[in-house]
Amino acid sequence: MRNRSILVSGAGIAGPTLAYWLHRSGFRVTVVERAHAPRSGGQAVDIRGTARQVAERMGIVAEVRGAHTGARGMAFVDRHGKRVATLSTAVYGDSGGPIAEMAIRRTDLARILYRATRDDVEYVFGDSITAVEQDDDGVRVEFETGGTRRFDLLVGADGVHSTVRRLVFGPPERYLRDLGCYIALFTTTTTVDLDGWQLMYTTPAGAGRPGRTVGLGPQPTPDAVLAGFFLRSPVLRYDRRDIDEQKRIVVRAFETDAWETPRILSTIRDSPDFYFDRVGQVHVDTWSRHRTVLLGDAAYCASPMSGIGTSLAMVGAYILAGELAAAEGDPRHAFPAYQRKMRDFAGRAQHFARGAGDSGLMPDSQAQLWLRNVSVRMMPFLPRRLIGHGMEKLANIVELDDYTTVKTEP
């Protein structure tokens, strides 16, 4: 078999999932990750639809369920903490609601995937790719810590701000589609008894300020909760490496808001896992160039608020690994086949994310906020088959081929 050695950039969800299946098929895999160790904290993600089949075939379902966030629904509250509308998993089940049955912190899932692959895959933490040169025989890669290595193939599974995409495909502005808002997340503590509920307090637009929401969500770790901030805003200028500046942006945007907001903001300075980014999508016409291919958010991010990103990453990784095995490592056949099988899923997920809109969390008026609450309160009275049907249908759009019998030989 040709092209046995593969470098994967990114140890999030897509990268380790890909590494697992590539190793199963006889490839030698190296994963490089900028962080110095598997990350901690992080937002809750959902494994939906076909991605659950991938998890089942990997044998990680028991671990995933064991690391469930504990969330059993979402409740919108007023300034005094009184619930004004609720979305319960008892209503949605796993059919596409805001809290899926297999809800887990992104970093917990990444750690499960890392543990499932670390004995068979070379992981290089605390490093990043700085240059890529491709030729007919392979890919020459330079690393930030110094030195170069050659691989047969390169996979960019390094997120929305993908370094591999920038080096091989061009500037990020060619591929990023702005969705007009920001999201901030960090782990904190609270005196509020969440009792398994994700609580959300929304302030509609008014007095020259945009609509926004602050939320608290349960975490599997005792005494820890996840704070989330959602803000509609024009593009802001800030240094992506300056975390303190980003924290100040969040404080200025929310400091006059009610409910638990002041207390939550009082803990932001000491947060070790703070995340802040512009919400957007990634649109790349062709996901591969010569010996390099993009995977997950690097190729087709739907949005961090879409609820489908983890499923896209896991299903895409399974298909890419399977097609490489079926093509005996030949990227000329494997990469186009991967894109053909994933393109419809990715395109529909992005369309769904845009259509869902952000008015529920960032309403333009008090009337829009009232309409959201009324709509949510009506959910329990609707036929079960109608609730979350769009997400359920989308998450199951791909029918997985059985690649598990494919075993390449050296």
| pLDDT in the model for residue 106 | 87
Distance from chain centroid for Cα 128: 20
Give 257-287 pLDDT, tens digit per residue: 999 999 999 999 999 889 999 999 999 999 9
Task: Tell me if residue 387 falls in helix, strand or coil.
Answer: coil
Pairwise CA distance, residues 384 & 166, whole Å:
44
Q: What is the mean pLDDT of residues 147-172?
A: 97
Q: Look at the chain and report how many structural domains it folds into.
A: 1
Give 354's pLDDT tier (boundaries 50, 70, 90): confident
Q: What is the mean pLDDT of residues 94-123?
A: 82
296 pLDDT above the threshold of 80: yes
- The half-sphere exposure of 293 on its side-chain side, counting CA atoms within 13 A, is 28
Assigned domain for 232 exists: no
Q: Which domain holds residue 63?
A: 5-70+103-175+282-359+390-396
Task: Tell me if residue 203 falls in helix, strand or coil.
Answer: strand
Give 95's pLDDT tier (boundaries 50, 70, 90): very low
Assigned domain for 107 exists: yes
| pLDDT in the model for residue 410 | 45
| pLDDT in the model for residue 360 | 83
Pairwise CA distance, residues 293 & 282, whole Å:
14
3-state helix, strand, coil in the chain (%, to 5): 35, 25, 40
Assigned domain for 191 exists: no
Give 181-218 pLDDT, tens digit per residue: 999 999 999 989 898 899 999 999 988 899 999 999 98
Pairwise CA distance, residues 333 & 324, whole Å:
8
The residue among 173, 172, 166, 403 whose CA lies nearest residue 289 is: 166
Assigned token pair, 243: 């975390």
Assigned domain for 193 exists: no
Indicate which CATH number applies to the domain containing 321: 3.50.50.60
Contact 319, 25 (CB under 8 A): no
Percent above pLDDT 90 for the chain: 69
236 pLDDT above the threshold of 50: yes
| pLDDT in the model for residue 2 | 73
| pLDDT in the model for residue 355 | 67
Assigned domain for 159 exists: yes
Question: Concatenated DSSP letters for 85-132?
Answer: EEEEHHHHTTSS-SS-TTEEEHHHHHHHHHHHHTTTSEEEES--EEEE
Assigned domain for 303 exists: yes
Lowest-pLDDT range, 45-59, 125-139, 161-175? Answer: 45-59
Beta strands in 119-258 (DSSP E): 122-125, 129-135, 138-143, 148-151, 153-156, 176-188, 197-203, 212-218, 225-232
Assigned domain for 139 exists: yes
**Distance between terminal CA atoms of the chain?**
5
Lowest-pLDDT range, 70-74, 144-148, 234-238? Answer: 70-74
Average model confidence (pLDDT) across the chain = 89
| pLDDT in the model for residue 390 | 67
Between these two residues, 386 and 161, which has the higher pLDDT value? Answer: 161
| pLDDT in the model for residue 96 | 47
Give 309's pLDDT tier (boundaries 50, 70, 90): very high
| pLDDT in the model for residue 69 | 79
Assigned domain for 349 exists: yes
| pLDDT in the model for residue 384 | 57
Question: Concatenated DSSP letters for 261-327?
Answer: HHHHHTTGGG-SS-EEEEEEEE--S-SEETTEEE-THHHH---TTSS-HHHHHHHHHHHHHHHHHHT
